[in-house]
Amino acid sequence: VYAVLFIAVLTGTAYYNVFNRTQRVKVIPREHLGKVMGPFYLLNLLSYPIAGLLVGSVGATYGPQRLVGVLAVVLSVFGAVLLPLTMRSFRRTLTDRERLPVGVQS
């Protein structure tokens, strides 16, 4: 069961990363792409040391399983709130961009 779920999670993550990168490239103006993508990946990679600090500091007290469970619930709520907002913002930006005359950038 673990192996199947692990593969499913990795597959879902890969699909999400492709979708996420594609949408960002569509929405972010070309001249700002590097300025936005660098900090985005920096924040994304900060999850590794933060996870290490959490497991190292409170993992022994609460146990890694409970810590993962609590973080899964908290991050799911966070994602459930932010995902629709992000999708709406992306949709609005893409719609506005389609209305611009050819050759004009926002």
**What pLDDT was estimated at residue 59?**
84
| Overall number of domains in the chain | 1
> Which regions in the chain score pLDDT beneath 50?
none
* Residue 63 zone, left/alpha/beta (φ > 0; ψ -120 to 50; rest): left
Which of the 8 DSSP states describes residue 100?
A: S
Per-residue pLDDT, 106: 55
Q: Is residue 104 part of a domain?
A: no
What span, in angstroms and rounded, lies between the C-alpha atoms of 46 and 44? 6
The reply to whether 105 falls in a domain is: no
Q: Would 13 be classed as within a structural domain? A: yes
Domain that holds residue 76: 2-99
pLDDT of residue 38: 85
Assigned domain for 28 exists: yes
What pLDDT is recorded for position 103? 62
pLDDT, position 102? 63
Q: Give domain status of residue 106, yes or no.
A: no
